[in-house]
Structure 1
Amino acid sequence: MGSGKSTVGQVLASLTSLPFIDLDDYIEAQESMSISQIIAQKGIIYFRKQELLHLKSVLKRRESIVLSLGGGTPCYYNNMELINEKPESRSIYLRANVPFLAQRLFEERQTRPLIAGIDTRDELAEFIGKHLLERSAFYNQAHKVVEIENKTPQEIALEILDLA
């Protein structure tokens, strides 16, 4: 969360002339509800099952795409394995440290269901640190890791292209 996956994905798609899909937006369109509404009305387990279903659907496409995942997507079921097992797939972890992410996310926390109830920067930093620790084993299964701090989305996208 807050690493710029959607923004960098859009820039990368533009640079490569590939279609861009944000998995969260795709799920919202397929479910005709926001992620917040899905979780509130049907629960987190339902959401994660739908996330897996829609991820599989997107990965079955024949054409190449740039796909941006939600921050939790790699951590459930065998999602990273599904992504990485496709020979043409290149997974990228956009990595940043906790203070950088907390600074970036604090002002927009009300628009993000997982952190909307957090009141202070210290609480947010603790939340982010806990999640990064829990999720790092999944994130580090990515084919490549790109450090994002002090880089523009364009610089990050160009670095990703250089990795290919």
Structure 2
Amino acid sequence: MNIVLMGYMGSGKSLIGRDLASKLKLEYLDLDDYIENQEKKSIFKIFEEHGEIYFRKKETFYLKTVLDTFENTIISLGGGTPCFVGNLEAIKEKENAKSLYLHTSLDELTRRLFAERSKRPLISHLNTQEELKDFVRKHLFERSFYYNQADYKISTDQKDANQISEESIAALF
């Protein structure tokens, strides 16, 4: 079985994905890292050189490739992955895949993301916490429809990685 983690950037998908993989003795794959390896350039550089539409097309291609070829893997998606080009449907169609939404509040996301915004192409241009909060609020409004279709939903606020992983395991099994 593959376990697909979704949620907004900063929700902890990579951290929890690695922790779950370790605890469940499964492989771990970060879709953004996989794309960077395949494309031989950073996500930031892909956005910069080709724009978001190009990136989303590549993301869809690599998501389908990963879903078709990997087994017994924890797969962390990019924040926008389930929202574009039938990606959520591709995940839901896979009988060997379960999806898990790591739900994080707007305030917590703003706090986590502000310090690291320079490393994230979608928010690198935002200079104040209020600008970031408005940006995240808009995205959460647009993306919640997709995230909430996950098989399971785990709240991450005021929990450490171990607590979130344990709740995830309890929900999945």
What range is the shorter-chain TM-score in?
A: over 0.9
- Is 2:120 aligned against 1:112? yes
> Number of residue pairs matched?
164
Instruction: State how 1:43-54 maps to structure 2 within 5 Å.
Output: 43-54=51-62
Q: Note the C-alpha offset of 1:88.
A: 2.0
RMSD, aligned α-carbons: 0.9
Equivalent in the alignment of 1:129: 137
Structure 2: how far apart are the matches of 1:114 and 1:49? 16
For 1:148 and 1:31, the matched residues in 2 are separated by 32
2:63 to 55, 65, 71: 55
Is it true that 1:31 corresponds to 2:6 in the alignment? no
Deviating runs (4+, > 2 A) in structure 1?
Answer: none
Gapped regions of structure 2 (runs ≥ 5): 1-8
TM-score (norm 2): 0.92
Question: What's the TM-score once normalised by structure 1's chain length?
Answer: 0.97
Aligned partner of 1:68: which letter? S
Q: Percent identity?
A: 48
Q: Offset of 1:62 from its aligned partner? A: 5.0
Task: Please identify which structure carries the higher strand content.
Answer: 2
| Structure 1: distance between partners of 2:141 and 2:73 | 29
Secondary structure of the corresponding residue to residue 158 of structure 2: coil
For the pair 1:21 / 2:2, whether they are aligned, the reply is no
Q: Tell me by how many angstroms 1:71 deviates.
A: 0.2
Please state how far the C-alpha of 1:41 moved relative to its aligned partner. Answer: 1.0
Query: How far apart are the structure 2 equivalents of 1:43 and 1:116?
Result: 14
Secondary structure, in 3 states, of the residue corresponding to 2:29? Answer: strand
CA-to-aligned-CA distance 1:26-61 (integer Å, 9 cap, x gap): 000000000011111122111111101100110012
Counterpart check, 1:68 vs 2:76: yes
Alpha-carbon separation, structure 1, partners of 2:88 and 2:133: 26
How far apart in 2 are the matches of 1:106 and 1:43? 23
1:63 deviation in Å?
2.0
